[in-house]
Amino acid sequence: MANLMEKIASNLYDGEEDEVAELVQKALDQGMDPQDVLQDGLLAGMDEVGKDFKAGDLYVPEVLIAARAMHAGMNVLRPFLAEGGGTGMGKCVVATVEGDLHDIGKNLVKMMLEGAGFEMIDLGVDAKAETFIDAVREHRPKLVGMSALLTTTMVNMKATIEALQEAGLRDSVKVMVGGAPVTAAFAAEIGADGHAPDAASAVDLARALIA
């Protein structure tokens, strides 16, 4: 099993999307827990990509290809991660904030919340404050989730919360934030209702916020 997880991680690193999808399917067929496949295969591979990207050993095109392979693996896992939660938890608008194109974490959070029974409205990446406002007006969600992966775009979470306030919508929703550089202290500082460090905790937080 460990060998299979290593293969998933190394094929993800190399951007081999078909192989990653096949190996993820193989792991599931062998009875592995989808959460373990996510953590020990896909996320382990993406961690290595992140380290080498930071060190300057990988460049944006290579990281993009690895991200494509990550999505291929996540697509195989999707029905398993999103299964069994039932429905009726209400709507949640989710997006990566303005200026930020990273969507892997946001997509994972979306999948897990779907699995927990939330109806997800995904505004994609690079979502401006006005895009959130329009979606809140249209869909009347219980929750708004914002993701940011860049220290330069985290500030747009604050701008979005301020815009919700100015539009008179802040009190109608709970706001949760996350993403690698986002901390609980930052969430409190910008007036969010909560912060989750990973997709599984995002489910616990979402449930607690609407309870």
Binding interface with ligand B1M (CB under 6 A): 43, 46, 49-50, 53-54, 60, 63-64, 67, 94, 99-106, 108-109, 145-147, 149-151, 176-181, 196, 198-199, 202
CB of 148 to ligand B1M, least distance (A): 7
CB of 27 to ligand B1M, least distance (A): 18
C-beta of 40 vs 103, nearer to ligand B1M: 103
C-beta of 30 vs 199, nearer to ligand B1M: 199
C-beta of 23 vs 92, nearer to ligand B1M: 92
Phi, psi of 91 (to 5 degrees): -95, 150
Phi, psi of 176 (to 5 degrees): -120, 145
CB of 151 to ligand B1M, least distance (A): 4
C-beta of 30 vs 151, nearer to ligand B1M: 151
What own/partner pairs with CB < 8 Å and gap ≥ 24 does 103-106 have? 103/147, 104/46, 104/67, 104/70, 104/71, 104/74, 105/147, 105/149, 105/178, 105/179, 105/180, 105/199, 106/145, 106/147, 106/179
Please choose, from the candidates 146, 144, 141, the residue with its C-alpha nearest in 3D space to the C-alpha of residue 186.
146
Could you tell me how many helices (H) and strands (E) the chain has, helices first? Answer: 10, 5
Scanning the structure block, which residue is given the tokens 């007036």?
191
C-beta of 43 vs 173, nearer to ligand B1M: 43
Alpha carbon distance 25, 76 (integer Å): 7
CB of 182 to ligand B1M, least distance (A): 7
CB of 190 to ligand B1M, least distance (A): 13
